[in-house]
Amino acid sequence: MIFFDVTKTGGSGHRSGLMRVSARLAEELGTAARAVNWATWDRRMGASDWFLTSELFSEEERPGLTDFLAACVGRTAAIFHDAIPLKHPHITWPQSVARHPSYLKLLAHFSRVWAVSATSRDELIGFWRWQGLDTMPPVDVLALGADFNRAARARRTDASKRDASLLSVGILEPRKNQMLLLDAAETLWSEGLNFKLNLVGRVNPHFGEPILARVRTLEKRFWGLRYHAAADDAAVAALYSQARASVFPTIAEGCGLPLLESLWQGVPCVCSDLPVLRENAAAGGCWAVATNDRSAWTDALRRVLTDDALVARLEVEASTRALPVWAEAASALRAALS
């Protein structure tokens, strides 16, 4: 039996990447897994059982975790997302910054670890080596699914009939870099280019208010800007169906699910040229733009909005390239944890 940890994600209403991973894996693991909450689980396991978590944790948040990992009769596995709180502490939730060093150290006590990208895997192993650890668990890469809404993959044709609409999905915070996107969009609107920009995502309570204030100011000046604080999967899919391209100017990711989910909808993605995003962008359907380069992003968006041939080529790539799905991710875990 796989005891699947849903301590935080089981009752959360947030639609973050962490929640996506937990929810979709739980669905696809099906009867092979039993959902458990650390506070109520009796932690009784057999020698062939596994405890699997895709959450973030610390001893302070889960008393007894260190002893459990040391004395567990069964085996333990974790899904590792990223080291962003250590790399960008000035723009990361304070709780996450405080938790992350102990979280990375605790991961070394699991039987197995899966990272959500090769970049994340290398960062985790690099941290352990920096810590001087003599023994480490095996760390493999788990390809996350693109099929976020459980719907069939979309196929698109005739870019010339697509609305002049862009879509950005992600929490409003400095890491997602909506300020750069708004700067580029304002330049293009001021040039007279008519297009829509839909932003979807909740507001980071520590760092997001200045971004929201900028959005509200620009909404009064430019008819094309729309902010959607909350949108379910159906609403997001509807916005994708109207979009000429998705835009993802992020400065740091563990995997970059919005890129994959855009491609599942057949929508090209204009993304930052980060190594972690290139892992999925290189196979097609994406245009990687210099990270945090306002001029380059302005030029890229201008071309995506006006060049039908470019968008048509990217649409074909997005609609025909291979994409990972959540059923495959769950199948890989079931096979490894059998």
Q: Looking at residue 10, what is its pLDDT?
A: 67
Q: Looking at residue 294, what is its pLDDT?
A: 98
How many other β-carbons are positioned within 10 Å of the β-carbon of residue 261? 26
pLDDT in tens, 66-93: 999 999 999 999 999 999 999 999 999 8
Distance CA 53, CA 56 (A): 8
Tokens of 28: 């696809």
Distance CA 133, CA 274 (A): 28
Q: Looking at residue 163, what is its pLDDT?
A: 78
- DSSP per-residue codes, 98-135: HHHHHHHHHHTTSSEEEESSHHHHHHHHHHHHHHT-S-
Distance CA 154, CA 328 (A): 19
pLDDT in tens, 216-228: 999 999 999 999 9
What domains can you pick out in the chain, each with its CATH number? 2-145+325-336 (3.40.50.2000), 159-320 (3.40.50.2000)
Q: Are 249 and 297 in contact (CB under 8 A)?
A: yes
Q: Looking at residue 160, what is its pLDDT?
A: 56
Residue ranges in the chain whose pLDDT is less than 70: 10-15, 157-162
Task: Give exposure, 321-335, as e/b (b: 16+ Cβ within 10 Å).
Answer: eebbbbebbbebbee
pTM: 0.94
